[in-house]
Amino acid sequence: MPNGASTLSGKPALACARCRRAAVALALAFVALACSRPLATLEVEPPAGPKRADTEFSPSRSQRVVALARRHLGARYVWGGSGPAGFDCSGFVMYVYGQVGVGLPHNAAKQYRYGTPITRERLEPGDVVFFDGLHHNGIYIGGGRFIHARRSGGGVMISGLDESWYRARWVGGRRF
């Protein structure tokens, strides 16, 4: 058709071609949606990155975790640190567990999503303990004590679960 010519609808031919392409694209989208699963039944995939922590309890692994954690007593606190030169709390847990083959993210709240929930009464050495609205964590070493990287107080140290600050801010435990 020449420029300016119109179709039966009275609209320029170019506009009708756009409409047809849009209609075809919309029809293809509906077909694609009809072939896919409904949104309500989509499976949720684990977070990208490190694999889910192995939740099978292993006494030998828990002993290695505690021994590795103790080796770093006195290491300095470094915000964002995740190695022997300096640790923050979740970096310390991530580093120690990484040494025994368990990949965890560098964030206490995200680490809390992994593993098996453990009550305070059922803690075993090597379990990870969480406090302060998931802003702090450490590794339980038995006898009501845990090892952690603490900002105030000079780095990696041992504290008690019954110390008032930790008792008041207890969130829960996880076994990896």
pLDDT number for residue 56 = 54
Cα–Cα distances (Å) from 67 to 31, 123, 145, 150, in that order, read 58, 17, 14, 19
pLDDT number for residue 98 = 98
Q: Are 143 and 160 in contact (CB under 8 A)?
A: no
Looking at the structure, do residues 64 and 124 belong to the same domain, yes or no?
yes
Looking at the structure, do residues 36 and 72 belong to the same domain, yes or no?
no
Looking at the structure, do residues 66 and 39 belong to the same domain, yes or no?
no
Looking at the structure, do residues 130 and 171 belong to the same domain, yes or no?
yes
Query: What domain range includes position 101?
Result: 59-175
Looking at the structure, do residues 23 and 72 belong to the same domain, yes or no?
no
> Tens digits of per-residue pLDDT, 109-137?
999 999 999 999 999 999 999 999 999 99
Looking at the structure, do residues 125 and 153 belong to the same domain, yes or no?
yes
> Tens digits of per-residue pLDDT, 36-90?
333 333 333 344 444 445 445 577 999 999 999 999 999 999 999 999 999 999 9
pLDDT number for residue 29 = 45
pLDDT number for residue 43 = 35
